[in-house]
Structure 1
């Protein structure tokens, strides 16, 4: 993450060039590698490897990712690009656009 040849277990993330964006990235990596749920606040408050290791021994397992569900017989909402195309095609045909919002 930091591009350093080595990091000591007691090195403070901020003292060795880290910052809050890297801490946010670390929460994602911890979730993927250890299947553990750490908040950004927990990482910011425990900036060394030793502190994070102790914290990991006490945290909850990661929750499964959220996946969208649709009711039986319905279609998922259109992607933003399809919604934009839909608005454009309605407008091109001279139909009312009052119920649609243009994209980007």
Structure 2
């Protein structure tokens, strides 16, 4: 009689660990994915905070003008714009 219960217990354990839809392996994969997504969540919260700070800074006209000049090379009328690029900041074919 004892062997019958042990056999059933072993079969049940193997089934739950490997074959069931709620198996241990599936739970482990899901937990790993949750950990990865929580890491992404922290990163994106930090990025949102940085973007909000940037938006608040751009509400000021001087900051908006500075941003437009630096990022989009905008200029005023009758003004010349010189872009200086250093050799180490240029992309080469090997960088791509």
TM-score by length of 2: 0.26
Structure with greater helix share of residues: 2
Q: RCO (CA 8 Å, sep 6+): is it higher in 1 or 2?
A: 1
TM-score by length of 1: 0.25
